[in-house]
Amino acid sequence: MDQVKTDPRIIRTRKLIMDTFIDLSSKKEFKDITVKDITTEAMINRATFYYHFEDIYDLLDKALSEVLLVNLKSEEYEQEELNEGSLISIFKAITNFQMSLSNRCHRGYEDTIARIIRDQLEVLFYKMLSKEHDAKENETLKIAAVMLSWGLYGASVEWRRNSQNVTPEEYIKSVIPFITKGIQ
């Protein structure tokens, strides 16, 4: 079964819009960025923007999701087992992602960012767990994936608030035995 290939021009234009948005978000607060700012900077018309994104919030959601997926290297993790090494790597990736956003569109959009991180982690953990466990446990694996995603996200927020005097790796490493005993 052949998959339909996306036209490279569409991919390039979408990337151009996202890159322009990310560039603008380093200069302005998200609430101050308009579609006109993006279209002017990217040298595209409004119809092109709306072909790719419903609105500025859709762009925010998709841009952050894609940046997070790049940080997470999710395709690589999906092939790994859920163990101490993968949990530490994932935790480091999400803390790096959050730190990279701290000077950009973070203020006022914590809920959006939190949802994106948790959703991406949930999918990732579900795939990792499904690889190791029987499909009959599907509902249990979904619940485990939700718990792991919220837990790791919550730990990353707590690290960012109170524990930046230790590395993310040191911070998470001490609790890994409590997490993995339930996994193995």
Ramachandran class of 73: left when φ > 0, alpha when ψ lies in -120 to 50, beta otherwise: left
Query: Tell me: the pLDDT tens digits for 62-88?
Result: 888 887 777 677 667 666 778 888 888
Q: Cα 97 vs. chain centroid, distance in angstroms?
A: 8
CA distances from 102 to 73, 99, 111, 141, 184 (A): 21, 5, 14, 32, 35
**Residues 121, 68: Cα–Cα separation, whole Å:** 10
pLDDT at 69: 74
Query: Tell me: the pLDDT tens digits for 29-49?
Result: 778 889 999 999 999 999 999
Q: Are 119 and 135 in contact (CB under 8 A)?
A: no
